[in-house]
Amino acid sequence: MTGTVGGIMSKLGQVVEAIEKYNKFVLDQVKRARSDEQFGRELLGRWNDTKAKIPITRTPTGVPLPRLALPEIDEPGEIARYLFGEGLPGEFPFLNGAYREMYLEPIREVESFEKNGETVAARMAPVKSSNARPPLPQAEEPTRLFSGLMLAEDTNERFHYLTQHQRTHRLSTAFDGPTLYGIDSDADGVFGKIGEGGVAIDTVEDMMRLYDGFDLGSPNFSASMTISGPAPIIMAMYIAAAKRRFGPKVVPKLRGTVQADIFKEVQAQNETIFPIEASLRFLTDMVEFTTREMRRWYPISISGYHIGEAGSTPVQQAAYTLSNGFAYAEMFAARGIPVDQFGPRLSFFLDCGLDAEYIALARVSRRIWAIGMRDVFGAGPRAQLFKLHTQTSGRSLIAAEFKNNLTRTAAELVLAYMNATNSCHSNSADEPFTTPSEEWIRLAAHGQAILLEESGIFKHTMNMLSGSPGMKAVERAVEAAILDEFREIARLGGVLAAVEDRYQRSQIQSAAHRYEQQIYNGTRPIIGLNRYRDDEDDAPEVKLVRTPRQKQQLQVDRLAKFKKKNAEKAKRALDRLADVVERGANCFTVLLEAAEVCSLGQITGRLQEVVGRFRPMV
């Protein structure tokens, strides 16, 4: 039974209290460590023990480095502050990382272990290494490249190109405008938009073409679909396509994520097709299904990226993303889904730009999420993790002297890795003009490889760049500012009430306006635009990726054929769908049936008849 979603989403105040309480707890532990001798000794013992277990490996140039760098402290109070306030990587409250080793290359040979500043001989047997090829890390590559262009078969080709040298196939899919708005390629006035800015998907058959040649049930495959308004429908099409290709047994094996973040659409990105409450209900229906039937799927990607791109400040981005996340958690829990089932299936997506806050934005977010989930929602360790995908800032890239964008993206990547993001997308320098072309995509991808694989910044030592006084100062300021935002949203009655009140939207728009003003008046330097401008710089010569008319026509023709073939079945499926939605039951199973025979636009249209359309907020 689906309850209404109104009247809930008011736990944000409790989250604020939980963070304050936890911060006080940390201070208490610091004091206790200094006054309670036994407690102090215990902490010191634990600290020394931890340090003793840190393996040391040699860099290719022969320098021995610990796999984990810790602050040079030996006073129990400071040790308490570190262990409770930050946590070791992979330990609560996860300031330094969700996992212990993140991007470290696998241990080939342990040199020694660190102990009290001295080193002792290695006790661990060296791992055999082959001369031919260095062993690859067991974890997946953090690189996840966003792609989507023209028709399904074109994007499919791009996917194969992008993953040709990768062990793991992590595909990230961009959809074209009509798909994002849940309408068909034959709708009024969308012809020119077919396949622009992303791939055109109208039917389950398109979905089959899109991932053709990839083994959807393989543990090395995962699909990410960046779509929110019609997310449950697209998700249903993905499942339907997988079943057609691999049979029904593939469903529990499917790995990947669909964005499905309605709040940020209303707050920032404007791709909302149903009224908010109806959208949230369809989302919860889907989450209920996937947490039960698809244990390896991430049914929502709580996204600050678009909030950031719409012009928010970094603090607003983190605050709205986290509060949206807590609101979803509250909603799913209210539906009766156990927090330890849905919690580990939530993931986050943040923007990383060049402002100072980005030095620690994701670190602070990870900590707030963990404390809130543990102390307010009673989540176990796996449901406390803020699993993060980061994308470098598209807004920071500009058309003038566009090759400078390579440097911008590189700096943002360093910041993203300093925040120990779990995966990352680096933007192509040609993005201000066009869907990225292969040449610039390759450079963007290699930017990540250069930082992670070629440079020694991230592969030898965890915490290589963490914990500087400046970073600590940013952490304190950012956390305080995020909590202030939480308090305001709580005062307005929670996330949903604040959204309906346009609170986040207005804040974002005003920040965006300020940003533009700063560029105009020069207080925000943009090299090549308002500083060191080269007036000779002509329009850049980039190869534009545009969808040819014949392809757009092909898509329309294929859709017509599909609709004709399934006309009878579609009608029945839509009637059943409307009936279930009307009754208020979970509609995802009937949506799965409808996705077999109906187009995206047919389903959207029918649902809108029942629940209404989204009324834009201006």
Partner 1 sequence: MPSPIRILTAVPICDGHDSAINTINLEFIRHGIEVVYLGYHRSVTDIVRAAIQEDVRAVGISSYNGGHIEFFSEVTGLLQKRGASDIKVFGGGGGTITQQDAAAMKRKGVDNIFFAGTSLAEMTDYVRTQYGKPRNKRPRPRSPEQELAHKLSEIEDAYASVSRKRPTASAQRSRSNKTVRHSSVAIRHSSRAERARVMGFTGPGGAGKTTLIDELVLRFLNQNSRGRIAILSHDPSVVGEGALLGDRATMINSQNDRVFMRSMATRGQAGGLSPATQDCLALLARSGFDYVIIETVGTGQEAMPFQKNGVVDQTVLVMNPDYGSRLQLQKIVMLDLADIVVVNKSDLQRARTAHTEIEQRLEQNGRDQRLIDTVAKRHRDAGVDQLFKLISTGR
Distances (CA, A) of 352 to 210, 421, 523: 29, 10, 21
Tokens of 485: 């935002």
Tokens of 436: 């990225």
Least distance CB 271 / partner 1 (angstroms): 5
Least distance CB 237 / partner 1 (angstroms): 18
3-state class percentages of the chain: helix first, strand second, coil last, to nearest 5: 50, 10, 40
Q: What are phi and psi of 434, to 5 degrees?
A: -160, 165
Least distance CB 515 / partner 1 (angstroms): 10
Q: Which CB, 177 or 456, lies closer to partner 1? A: 177
Please choose, from the candidates 109, 121, 74, 68, the residue with its C-alpha nearest in 3D space to the C-alpha of residue 90: 68
Sign of torsion, CA 64 66 70 73? negative
Asked if residue 307 lies in contact with residue 321, where contact means CB atoms within 8 angstroms, the answer is: yes
CA distance 120 to 112: 6
Residues paired with residue 350 on neighbouring β-strands, in sequence order: 390
Least distance CB 408 / partner 1 (angstroms): 15
Asked if residue 333 lies in contact with residue 377, where contact means CB atoms within 8 angstroms, the answer is: yes
CA distance 567 to 260: 28
Q: Which CB, 126 or 612, lies closer to partner 1? A: 612
Least distance CB 274 / partner 1 (angstroms): 9
- Contact partners, residue 229, CB within 8 Å, separation at least 6: 180, 181, 182, 262, 265, 271, 272, 273, 274, 279, 614
Query: Which position has the token pair 């859709």?
Result: 559
Asked if residue 287 lies in contact with residue 243, where contact means CB atoms within 8 angstroms, the answer is: no
Q: Which CB, 72 or 538, lies closer to partner 1? A: 538
Least distance CB 403 / partner 1 (angstroms): 14
Asked if residue 92 lies in contact with residue 370, where contact means CB atoms within 8 angstroms, the answer is: yes
Q: Which CB, 315 or 511, lies closer to partner 1? A: 511
CA distance 366 to 142: 18
CA distance 392 to 350: 9
Least distance CB 589 / partner 1 (angstroms): 23
Least distance CB 458 / partner 1 (angstroms): 32
Helix/strand/coil for 171? strand
Q: What are phi and psi of 120, to 5 degrees?
A: -115, 165
Q: Which CB, 310 or 452, lies closer to partner 1? A: 310
Q: Which CB, 381 or 432, lies closer to partner 1? A: 432
Q: Which CB, 525 or 612, lies closer to partner 1? A: 612
CA distance 411 to 44: 37
Q: Which CB, 513 or 583, lies closer to partner 1? A: 513
Q: Which CB, 469 or 616, lies closer to partner 1? A: 616
Q: Which CB, 348 or 614, lies closer to partner 1? A: 614
Least distance CB 311 / partner 1 (angstroms): 6
Q: Which CB, 303 or 384, lies closer to partner 1? A: 303
- Per CB under 8 A, residues contacting partner 1 are 6, 176-178, 180-181, 183, 187-194, 196-197, 269-271, 275, 278, 310-311, 398-400, 432-435, 500, 509, 512-513, 516, 520, 529, 539, 544, 546, 611-618
CA distance 481 to 487: 10
Kind plus residue range of the DSSP H or E element containing 159: helix 152-162
Least distance CB 39 / partner 1 (angstroms): 49
CA 534 to the chain's CA centroid = 36
State yes or no: cis peptide before 93, omega within 30 of 0.
yes
